[in-house]
Structure 1
Amino acid sequence: MSKAYVFTRNGGPEVEALVDRDVPAPGPGELLVAVRAAGVNPVDWKLRDGYVRPGAEAAPFPAAFGSEAAGTVEAVGPDTEGFAVGDEIFGNPLTGGYAEHTLFPAAVSAHKPAALSFAEAAVLPVAAATAHDGLVQLGLAPGATLVITGAGGGVGSAAAQLARHAGLRVIGVASAAKKEFVTSLGAVHIASGPGLADRVRAAAPEGVDAVFDLAGGDALREAATLVADPAAALIGAGDKPLVAELGGAAVRRARNAEVLRTIGGLAVAGVLRAPIVRILPLDRAGEALRAVESGHALGKTVIEVSS
């Protein structure tokens, strides 16, 4: 048996539980992984609430939390190439990352760079990969000005770092409490809240070239007024329906191993640092989720499954 932190039905924190489950057997194209660390993301509690990813089916209950993790391969499924027992990998698990054992799809997994800890690798597959995919989608040239709403969170902080590496000027919208953190990423901090668009215009009188939204709501509505052509210059991962309503587009996720290898390399090179601010054990997974679900988390929270 193997422990996993799951939700037993759709609902709030009351449906969460740490349970024992059978160690899963890898099928074709799958890897059985002993999890060492798992990243915590907003999508985790959203799935518990009933959100279903476009094109996907809801996982059967009980469903383990966790969309990104790192660990060691314990078994390789049939017709699976490129991995062997003992390999240290990171990626997007099929059967939840908040678990002692889980299955990974080989197609969305990569070898963990030796220079990265398991915790550092575990927080890359969702936030950093989403940031990478969004910037590729925008295709901005060096020197362009990019506004990132929600710049103090996991995706926002990764996007700011990658954008600065690409030669962009970054304006990061976040709470006043996150000013020091946002500026440490090389971004110009703009306080969130009513009037943020006017504050951005004051900081960038020459205008902005694009908006990458990770906040949604009123922040997105204001930020959308900063670009003349939302269809070309407004993308988001925070509130996809509202992004579409305002004429923009959701971030198109690549979800492949090549992106993982790219961001892993950038992390090793020091271009992308994972701002891990909290590490909790598996038996405190609920506490880790509450920190992210509050909407005020700074950087990344990690669940350490084994050491």
Structure 2
Amino acid sequence: MPKAYVFTRYGGPETEALVERDRPSPGPGQVLVAVRAAGVNPVDWKQRTGYRRPGGPERELPAVFGNEVAGVVEEIGAEVTGFAVGDEVFGNPVAGGYAEYALLPVAVTAHKPAELSFTDAAALPVAAATAYDGIRQLGLPAGATVLITGAGGGVGVSASQIARAFGLRVVGVASESKKDFVESLGAVHVPSGPDLAERVRAAAPDGVDAVFDLVGGEVLEAAATLPAEPAKVITGADRETVAKLGGSGVERARTAAVLDAVANLAVDGKLRPFVTRTFPLDRAGEALRTVEDGHARGKIVIEVRA
């Protein structure tokens, strides 16, 4: 039977297990994909603790981990057009992607360009798509300056590159150990820590036009003092705090068109997924710990099939 990595109840790592599950069947508007690779994101372990988006559905337990995959179409559901068995695709699964098979809704599934590996494609649907939505949401003109907190993480790495592709100047906040990495993205590095606002002002003497926060809490509060317009502060990490500051959360489009856009940026060399480490499915727990412990640089991907 096909294998999948699941959490059996809400809680910590002790709830995780590699199990065998029936191969799923696609419903209307869905495709069944033989997963080649699955991206690992902070939201994965947060969902294990019981987190869910406001208004989102309650997960049926045991629940498969994972929110982004790349693979090959094995079966087509009713009312599906534009996809065929054998197509190489990537997107957001219906209910988990750390598995040998996953169901994908065609609304958030895109054809994988031949120039893009399955591993790199699996790193795009969450982090890169979130970054793309956020940069587009800010609506800054070319030449403007955007401050990105958490610039060394999965979304931050993509946001820095996409901002640069849009002609923006980027100031990236990250730990001192990630300085060279952040600067390799074309960003001006500012080390995280106390007195953040003062260091950003020194690094960007002409000012900051917008903030794309990926950390939340005190870091977000400090960064939010920098733009002239509170509405130009968005976050992918702390909606409660940003609302008090006059900003907003990242508005996710969740469309195949966004997936096409980030894939094209990757093919054009303007967006590198920066997959820094891969794990096989039977070591999915190690992959998740790498992200949950906060030490990941770039993207972590589970390679399910060669």
List gaps (5 residues or longer) in structure 2.
none
1:34 alignment partner AA: A
| Whole-angstrom distance in 2 between the partners of 1:142 and 1:183 | 20
Q: Within 5 A, what are the aligned runs for 1:246-265? A: 246-265=245-264
Deviations 1:184-229 (A, max 9, x none): 0000000001111100001112211000000112211111111232
1:259 alignment partner AA: V
Which residue of structure 1 lines up, in the alignment, with residue 285 of structure 2?
A: 286
Q: Within 5 A, what are the aligned runs for 1:267-282? A: 267-282=266-281
Shift of 1:242: 1.5
| Whole-angstrom distance in 2 between the partners of 1:58 and 1:295 | 26
Instruction: Give the secondary-structure state (helix, strand or coil) at the position aligned to 1:32.
Output: strand
Which residue of structure 2 lines up, in the alignment, with residue 200 of structure 1?
A: 200
Shift of 1:95: 2.1
2:253 alignment partner AA: A
Shift of 1:244: 1.4
Which residue of structure 2 lines up, in the alignment, with residue 110 of structure 1?
A: 110
| Whole-angstrom distance in 1 between the partners of 2:66 and 2:140 | 32
Which residue of structure 2 lines up, in the alignment, with residue 243 of structure 1?
A: 242
| Whole-angstrom distance in 1 between the partners of 2:210 and 2:96 | 34
Instruction: Give the secondary-structure state (helix, strand or coil) at the position aligned to 1:129.
Output: helix
Which residue of structure 1 lines up, in the alignment, with residue 191 of structure 2?
A: 191
| Whole-angstrom distance in 2 between the partners of 1:305 and 1:28 | 26
List gaps (5 residues or longer) in structure 1.
none
Q: CA RMSD in A?
A: 0.7
Shift of 1:24: 0.5
Q: Within 5 A, what are the aligned runs for 1:27-66? A: 27-66=27-66
TM-score (norm 1): 0.98
Which residue of structure 2 lines up, in the alignment, with residue 14 of structure 1?
A: 14
| Whole-angstrom distance in 2 between the partners of 1:211 and 1:46 | 24
1:170 is the counterpart of 2:166: no
Shift of 1:243: 1.5
2:261 alignment partner AA: T
| Whole-angstrom distance in 1 between the partners of 2:83 and 2:59 | 26
Instruction: Give the secondary-structure state (helix, strand or coil) at the position aligned to 1:24.
Output: coil
Instruction: Give the secondary-structure state (helix, strand or coil) at the position aligned to 1:205.
Output: coil
| Whole-angstrom distance in 1 between the partners of 2:221 and 2:45 | 24
User: How many residue pairs are counted as aligned between the two chains?
Assistant: 306
Sequence identity, in percent?
67
Deviations 1:239-292 (A, max 9, x none): 122211222100000000000011111100000001111100000000000000
Instruction: Give the secondary-structure state (helix, strand or coil) at the position aligned to 2:24.
Output: coil
1:130 is the counterpart of 2:127: no
Deviates more, 1:241-250 or 1:281-290: 241-250
Shift of 1:54: 2.4
Deviates more, 1:243-252 or 1:112-121: 243-252
Deviations 1:62-119 (A, max 9, x none): 0000000000000000111110000010000012110000100011000000001100
Instruction: Give the secondary-structure state (helix, strand or coil) at the position aligned to 1:183.
Output: helix
Q: Within 5 A, what are the aligned runs for 1:66-77? A: 66-77=66-77
Instruction: Give the secondary-structure state (helix, strand or coil) at the position aligned to 1:306.
Output: coil
| Whole-angstrom distance in 2 between the partners of 1:27 and 1:150 | 38
1:56 alignment partner AA: G
1:282 alignment partner AA: L
| Whole-angstrom distance in 1 between the partners of 2:226 and 2:83 | 46
Shift of 1:55: 2.6
Instruction: Give the secondary-structure state (helix, strand or coil) at the position aligned to 1:86.
Output: coil
| Whole-angstrom distance in 2 between the partners of 1:127 and 1:188 | 21
| Whole-angstrom distance in 2 between the partners of 1:167 and 1:111 | 27
Instruction: Give the secondary-structure state (helix, strand or coil) at the position aligned to 2:47.
Output: helix
| Whole-angstrom distance in 2 between the partners of 1:295 and 1:221 | 21
Shift of 1:48: 0.4
